[in-house]
C-alpha cells in the first residue's frame, strides 16, 4: 500500500485537467520514486505515452496497485484493456498515470521496477 500526496499536477485527461489534485509517488524495487497522477478509472484520457497503474483506494491516502503497465497511447489502451475484468473484480477505483514520452524501453524499465516491488495481482495471470 502507498500513500498519496497533494500537489499541483500536469494534464492527464482529455478535458485538460486531472480528475483530482492528487499525485502519488510509487517506489520501485530499485528505490526510484515515480510521480503518478490520479484519475477516475473511467476518465477520458489523453492519447499520450505513459506508465499506468490500476489501483484500489483503501483510505483517503492509501492505494493498492492491481495492475501495472505501459503504453504509447493511454487514451487508446485503457478503455478496452484486457485486464479490466481482473482489476474491476479486485475493486479498482482509479487509474494512476505517469506521462512518459521517453520511449518504450524507458517505460518498460519503470514498469518492471514497479511490478517487482508491488507484485500486483492482475499482473500475475
Give 85-97 pLDDT, tens digit per residue. 999 999 999 999 9
Mean pLDDT on 68-74 = 97
Cell numbers at residue 101, please? 514520452
Exposure string for 28-46, b = 16+ CB within 10 A, e = fewer: beeeeebebbbbebebebb
pTM of the model: 0.86
Cell numbers at residue 8, please? 499541483
Q: What is the mean pLDDT of the chain?
A: 87
Q: Which domains does the chain have, with CATH numbers?
A: 2-124 (3.40.1440.10)
What is the reported pLDDT for 77? 95
Grade residue 24 by pLDDT with cuts at 50, 70 and 90.
Answer: very high
Give percent above pLDDT 70 in the chain. 82
Mean pLDDT on 53-79 = 95
What is the reported pLDDT for 21? 59
Cell numbers at residue 22, please? 492528487
> Would you list the DSSP string of 19-38?
SSSEEEEEE-TTS-EEEEEE
Amino acid at each position: 500500500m502507498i500513500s498519496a500526496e497533494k500537489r499541483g499536477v500536469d494534464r492527464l485527461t482529455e478535458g485538460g485537467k486531472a480528475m483530482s489534485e492528487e499525485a502519488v509517488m510509487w517506489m520501485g524495487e530499485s528505490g526510484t520514486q515515480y510521480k503518478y497522477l490520479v484519475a477516475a478509472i473511467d476518465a477520458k484520457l489523453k492519447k499520450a505515452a505513459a506508465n499506468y497503474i490500476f489501483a484500489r483506494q483503501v483510505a483517503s491516502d492509501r492505494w493498492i496497485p492491481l495492475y501495472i503497465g505501459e503504453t504509447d497511447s493511454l487514451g487508446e489502451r485503457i478503455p478496452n484493456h484486457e485486464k479490466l475484468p481482473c482489476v474491476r473484480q479486485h475493486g479498482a477505483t482509479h487509474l494512476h498515470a505517469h506521462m512518459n514520452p521517453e520511449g518504450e524501453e524507458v517505460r518498460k524499465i519503470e514498469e518492471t521496477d514497479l511490478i517487482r516491488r508491488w507484485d500486483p495481482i492482475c499482473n500475475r495471470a
